[in-house]
A and B are shown apart, each in its own frame.
Chain A
Amino acid sequence: MRLFLAYVIGLVFGLGISISGMANPAKVLNFFDFAGSWDPSLAFVMGGAFVVAFIGYRLVFRRPAPLLAPRFAVPGNTRLDAKLLGGAAVFGIGWGISGFCPGGSLPALGTGNTEVYIFTGALLAGIIAAKLLMQFTIKWSSARAAA
């Protein structure tokens, strides 16, 4: 039941991405091209998603716990640090180069388009490289603290 519901939720997300145009890099890049072939559609995607999530979250958080988990796993960190803002800035550069964000590319894998598989392979390589780099930095700084 847990897995079936997770599958259905993923399907609703993937269908939303497919209908909205977020799986189409040409459309996404045009949203950011104010000086050229501007297409404001992405604002309607973000707007629709925001309104539904904003209202829906308020209803869900009235419950003491989720239906199939002991508690809500919501990040409690509120600090604005260089890692967050630097990471977000770097993400935007990659998004502006390719026109794909992870939420757009994962459902787009279902279209069978080769470029999507190339992007997603590179995306995974980037995620793994960053995780290794973070582990290495943590080890290095704790080794230095111990010395």
Chain B
Amino acid sequence: MLTDFTPWQSLFGGSLIGLASVLLMLVHGRIMGATGILAGAFVPEAPGDRGWRIAILAGMVSGPLVFWLATGAMPAVEVPVSTTMMIVGGFIVGLGVTFGSGCTSGHGVCGMARLSRRSIAATLTFMLTTAATVYVVRHVMGG
């Protein structure tokens, strides 16, 4: 499935992701990591630590609705893989981000911006294994 190259739109969306990360550090002193915020909402780290996480998650889910109000269309969600691959992929992502202490937002944006050694190493590692997996699925297995 081909997708359009959208440099300006992606740059603008990316800047908003960066802005949200900066605002969360300024206001709450926290890393904007989707994995950590989600996991902490279900398994709280400390008493009273759940509210802000649920508020952020509610804000995230409202994102597409505001996009719809502004443009008249929901953001595109095209899934080029089977439901089985969604389930298997989702479970593997859950294992990996928990052991790896973060994902694209926590390591790839916030950690990289802090020039954290751990985040730079984690980001390089997962970008490499993602590319290798896409190659194997699409060009070796022919999915």
Contact = CB atoms under 8 A, between A and B. Distances in A.
Interface of A: 2-27, 29-30, 32-37, 39-42, 44-54, 56-57, 59-61, 63, 65-75, 77-80, 83-113, 115-116, 118-131, 134
Given A9-B56, A127-B35, A16 B15 contact: yes
Interface string B8-49: 111111111111111111111111111100110011000000
Contacts of A127: 35, 38-39, 42, 94-95, 97-98
Interface of B: 1-35, 38-39, 42-43, 51-53, 55-67, 74-81, 83, 85-101, 103-105, 107-110, 112-114, 116-118, 121-123, 125-135, 137-139
A51 to B, nearest CB: 7
A129 B91 contact: yes
Contacts of A60: 22, 25-26
A78 B123 CA distance: 14
A5 B85 CA distance: 36
Contact of B95 (A9, A23, A90, A97): A90
